[in-house]
Amino acid sequence: MQKARHESIICTVDVVLLTLHEGALHVVLLKRDREPFNGALALPGGYIHQQEDQSAWDAAARVLREKTGITAPYLEQLATFAGPGRDPRGWSVSIAYYALVPVSILPTDRPQIVMRPVERLPSLPFDHKSIVDSAVGRVRTKSQYSSLPVYLCGERFTLPQLQAVYEAVLGEPINKVSFRRKLEELAMLEPIEGAMESGGAHRPAQLYRLRKEYRRSLSVVDRGLNPRS
């Protein structure tokens, strides 16, 4: 009796790269240069290389670096998306990751890279919209109790600037007193000695940066932030 022929399962990684642009959360997309969906905007993604990648995380970091030129300081696994109908080439598995970066580090010499607001996504191939929605939900939940949004800032920032970033990610205002208290609990920042930013009509504001021990890991607390009442 002849054995049934089994086709290989497609195994890839996809990365939801998020940034802030004009005060709104955006996702970085690439214009595909091959079928399927040639010319469509999609998440940075690619095959796992058996001989090169020691883990799925390594594959995601490599794909992000090769496709966008970015080495993200924080890259976390999101979820696995799998099934026979998500890719027209056959049964596929995608291990999805997400990363946050300041818009200033996005390359300007790669015309295939575009940003789109997460609230107004274009039609995306495969199940990339579901992946983006899942990543945005994860980021917003985690931002309630961790240092995650700080990766959207540059190396130096004031506390009002950081609060504005948190508010943009969460999509709602935050009580200032609650926010400052939460920063103290997170203990993730250190003032930059002698560094101040002029505020025009306001007095100069102290500049801060992320403490060294949290530049590749998160600071977390038990309770979340309180929105402004």
CATH for the 150-214 domain, from 3.90.320.10, 1.10.10.10, 3.10.20.30, 3.30.450.190: 1.10.10.10
Overall average pLDDT of the 38-61 stretch: 96
Classify the C-alpha dihedral 162-167-170-171 as positive or negative.
negative
**Read out DSSP for 65-94?**
HHHHS---S-EEEEEEEEESSS-TTSSEEE
- The per-residue pLDDT of the chain, averaged, comes to 93
**Which pLDDT value is given to residue 198?**
81
| Residue 77: both structure tokens together | 């696994």
Pairing of strands 24-31, 202-210: unpaired
> Is 0.85 surpassed by the pTM of this model?
yes
pLDDT at 227 over 90: no
| Residue 192: both structure tokens together | 């930059």
**Which pLDDT value is given to residue 224?**
86
Q: Where are the domains of the chain?
A: 10-143, 150-214
**Which pLDDT value is given to residue 203?**
84
What kind of fold does domain 10-143 have according to CATH?
Answer: Nucleoside Triphosphate Pyrophosphohydrolase (3.90.79)
Tell me the pLDDT tens digit for each residue of 139-178: 999 999 999 999 999 999 999 999 999 999 999 999 999 9
Query: CA 95, CA 124: separation in Å to the nearest integer?
Result: 17
**Which pLDDT value is given to residue 229?**
45
Strand partners of residue 11: 93
Tell me the pLDDT tens digit for each residue of 56-92: 999 999 999 999 999 988 999 999 999 999 999 999 9
* Nearest to 218, CA basis, from 69, 100, 55: 100
Tell me the pLDDT tens digit for each residue of 109-141: 999 999 999 999 999 999 999 999 999 999 999
Length of the chain equals: 229
Taking a C-beta distance cutoff of 8 angstroms, is the pair 121, 135 a contact? no
